[in-house]
Structure 1
Amino acid sequence: MNDAPILILDSGVGGLTVLREARVLMPDRRFVYVADDAGFPYGNWEEDALRDRLVALFGDLIVAHEPLACVIACNTASTLALNALRQSYPRMKFVGTVPAIKPAAERTRSGLVSVLATPGTVRRQYTQDLIDQWASRVSVKLVGSVALASLAERYMRGGFVDEQAVLAEIAPCFIEENGRRTDIVVLACTHYPFLVNRMRKMAPWPVDWLDPAEAIARQADRVVGDAGTRSMHGDFDPAVFTSGAPDYATQRIVRGFGLRTG
């Protein structure tokens, strides 16, 4: 019986939103969650250096865990390195994370959509290509947040977040134009859904916050197909931190998601 896991990687705990959805869709699968916390936040890296880091890191992870597939639960990493990873490891199946611009363009009624992302995702040509391909008939506002991923990490660890700081990050998403208002905000970072309740509270008017986690999990399910099985032994899946030393709060978080460290 092949019980090889599905590997899910993010720069921190944001990818746990994807793991949560993947477990719902694939309860019989094993998972390995990898937090590249030694490299967090990815938005501070030069592009070439981060791409090289990700290619090398995945090489080590593939050897260590022999996964069925690798899920890059991070928009910044996916838009930068997905093609390089597929070229470097052609036998491995990779599932990337890209901004949900197509579904946003299909659902909007006002024609005003905002994409809330890291600065790296905002400036990447990959993102502009998605807009050109799928959203040419709507107005898309790209909002690069410098602090929101870190706010989400702190919130997950401590249970508190400065709501005014959240408001400052999301405020540029809300546009009024010729009697119309933004009605969809794409959450183009897997960290952001952890703060969505605070975003709803602080938003100047209600919008549809588009969480990509379920779509990523569904794509992983399609990619893996019928390959491999899992015996329901009930053990926790492993969580790997590239720093090698997650703090107590982080260990508590991952245990809450059915993961073990060490």
Structure 2
Amino acid sequence: MIGVFDSGVGGLSVWREIVRLIPDAPLTYLADQAHVPYGERSLDEVRALTLRAAGWLIARGCRVVVIACNTASAAALEALRATFPTTPFVGMEPAIKPAALHTRTGVVGVLATPTTLRSARYASLVSRWGRDLHIIEQPCLGWVEAVERMQSQVGSAEDAELRRLVGDCVMPLLAQDADTLVLGCTHFPFLRPWIEQAISAWQAAHPVAHAVTVFDPAPAVARRTRQVWLELTLSADGTPAREFWTTGSAGRFAQVASVLLGYPVPARLLTL
């Protein structure tokens, strides 16, 4: 079984890519919604919460654990590998490298949570790949919470508020000539329609503006997960089991996850 962990529903952006690449794999998703958002907590607190969640997933039978949360990966990945040395962990990191290789203006915008931007893991990425670039860090306050309560997609009653919330973070990056945007949180791909709207609005107002590329690391994480899964020569017969657990409200998780994934999602409550 593959375990997928996030503070909330954001990791479902990675889940859907894993399902696409490994449709026969049994999967367990755990959302620690009792403590969401992680992005404004201390690294020590996030590390402790992540270790506890990973222990539960491993005890449940997960042979591979995906930390589908940039903040949790930044805070806890090394500790996880030291604590559970026989379990392969696949973590997240902002896509600084591909953005650095792609940019033409030399300006990269990083959309992330405050805790991710404070982490040593993020600093190491910037040191390795951003030395000759202008990297603009944009803490996106309120984005995680917006996804956690999302009720429908573009055109909904929340549409105008999401346009404002996203535009306030994206527009300043484009104004500074960023031609690549890095999604540094797994919640953020679910705001992609509003990110693209902001880019389109900017380009309409600035006809000679550069094209803008948005980097979502979820497909790369799914590819790495598939590689690890195949290296373990694991397979499943029949219909794969898929479970969804949350430390918050199971009904609330099921409601929002069903909107984000586009199909009914049952969920169960877990007390850790």
Residue identity in the other structure for 1:141? I
Q: 1:24 aligns with which of 15, 20, 24?
A: 20
Measure how far apart 1:42 and its partner are.
0.4
Looking at structure 1, the residues matched to 152 and 241 of structure 2 have their Cα atoms a distance apart, in angstroms, of: 20
* CA shift in 2, pair 1:74/1:156, >3 Å: farther
Looking at structure 2, the residues matched to 257 and 78 of structure 1 have their Cα atoms a distance apart, in angstroms, of: 28
Q: Which runs of 5+ in 1 are unaligned?
A: none
**What secondary structure is seen at the aligned counterpart in 2 of 1:174?**
helix
Matches within 5 A, 1:183-262: 183-203=179-199, 204-205=202-203, 206-226=211-231, 227-233=233-239, 237-243=242-248, 245-247=250-252, 249-250=255-256, 252-253=258-259, 256=262, 259-262=265-268
The answer to whether the 8 A contact 2:9-2:257 is kept is no
Looking at structure 2, the residues matched to 48 and 141 of structure 1 have their Cα atoms a distance apart, in angstroms, of: 26
Counting matched residue pairs gives: 252
Looking at structure 1, the residues matched to 213 and 228 of structure 2 have their Cα atoms a distance apart, in angstroms, of: 28
Looking at structure 1, the residues matched to 188 and 216 of structure 2 have their Cα atoms a distance apart, in angstroms, of: 8
Residue identity in the other structure for 1:80? A
TM-superposition CA deviations, 1:124-166 (whole Å, max 9, x none): 1211210111222221111111111112222356853411122
Residue identity in the other structure for 1:103? P
* CA shift in 2, pair 1:72/1:149, >3 Å: same
Q: Write out the 4+ residue segments of structure 1 that deviate beyond 4 Å after TM superposition.
A: 156-159
Residue identity in the other structure for 2:230? G
Matched residue, 2:81: 86
The answer to whether the 8 A contact 1:113-1:184 is kept is yes
Does 72-81 or 156-165 show the bigger shift?
Answer: 156-165
**What is the Cα-based RMSD across aligned positions, in Å?**
2.0
Looking at structure 2, the residues matched to 142 and 196 of structure 1 have their Cα atoms a distance apart, in angstroms, of: 18
Please tell me whether residue 66 in structure 1 is matched to residue 61 in structure 2: yes
Measure how far apart 1:57 and its partner are.
2.1
Looking at structure 2, the residues matched to 42 and 156 of structure 1 have their Cα atoms a distance apart, in angstroms, of: 21
Q: Which runs of 5+ in 2 are unaligned?
A: 204-210
* CA shift in 2, pair 1:150/1:251, >3 Å: closer
Looking at structure 1, the residues matched to 173 and 111 of structure 2 have their Cα atoms a distance apart, in angstroms, of: 7
Looking at structure 2, the residues matched to 27 and 251 of structure 1 have their Cα atoms a distance apart, in angstroms, of: 19
The answer to whether the 8 A contact 2:18-2:222 is kept is yes
Q: 1:45 aligns with which of 41, 46, 51?
A: 41
The answer to whether the 8 A contact 2:150-2:259 is kept is no
Residue identity in the other structure for 1:242? T
The answer to whether the 8 A contact 1:72-1:97 is kept is yes
TM norm structure 1: 0.89
TM norm structure 2: 0.86
**What secondary structure is seen at the aligned counterpart in 1 of 2:51?**
helix
Measure how far apart 1:232 and its partner are.
2.7
Matched residue, 2:208: none
